[in-house]
Amino acid sequence: MPEQKTIGVLFIDRFADWEYGLLAASAVEWFGARAVSLTPDGKPVTSASGFLLTPDRSAEVGENADLDAIAVIGSDEWAGDAPPDISGLLTAVAARGGVVGGICAGTLALARAGLFKDVRHTSNGRDWISAKEPGYPGAQNYQDVPYAVADRRIVSAPGSAPGTFALACLRTLYPDPERSGDFAQMRMLFAREYAEVS
């Protein structure tokens, strides 16, 4: 039996409720992963809809040596005046070959950590990320697309793409060709509702 992977999902106040569900649930249900919730200081946070989330742990590097992947969930707070600095954790996960993902404004945390320097990436728009984080390393690698982008082990997505974000994160974490059927089925399920809407 393959070793169980551990995926950290990082939240801050006013996190986007719709951006993590497909990733976390698919990782656990389809791939047998363990999903753990993190906040920068280990304290509860409130979502955009007002739901209260009590995390499993903080974003301290020492608490997270077991993470095979981390996904930073979007929030308007990432673009605020005093966003939390989680660069230490993101670079630690990346340095040991883990998958680091960011969706929506969560991509700002990856940009600030320098993780886009040598990889193709996307966000909520070229002008948007450039205005929020002017001159970030790797800005020239921006991909203006409406779906997730995975390059090496860095995954990024606009906030409107939680389905392709989940797929890209999991494909990167589980590169085994034998899992290709699982990804094809996931893609079909995620896309089916749109194919039938007129």
Q: What is the DSSP letter of 153?
A: T
pTM: 0.96
Residue 149: inside a domain: yes
Residue 1 maps to a domain = no
Beta strand ranges found along 11-87 (DSSP E): 34-39, 45-46, 52-53, 57-58, 69-72
Count of H-run helices and E-run strands, the chain: 6, 9
Full domain range(s) for residue 147: 6-195
Distance CA 110, CA 112 (A): 5
Is 142 part of any domain? yes
CATH number of the CATH domain containing 50: 3.40.50.880
Residue 46 lies in a domain: yes
Q: How many CB atoms lie within 10 A of CB 14?
A: 18
Please report whether residue 153 resides in a domain: yes
Number of domains the chain is built from:
1
pLDDT tens for the chain, residues 1 to 198: 568 999 999 999 999 999 999 999 999 999 999 999 999 999 999 999 999 999 999 999 999 999 999 999 999 999 999 999 999 999 999 999 999 999 999 999 999 999 999 999 999 999 999 999 999 999 999 999 999 999 999 999 999 999 999 999 999 999 988 888 888 888 888 888 877 766
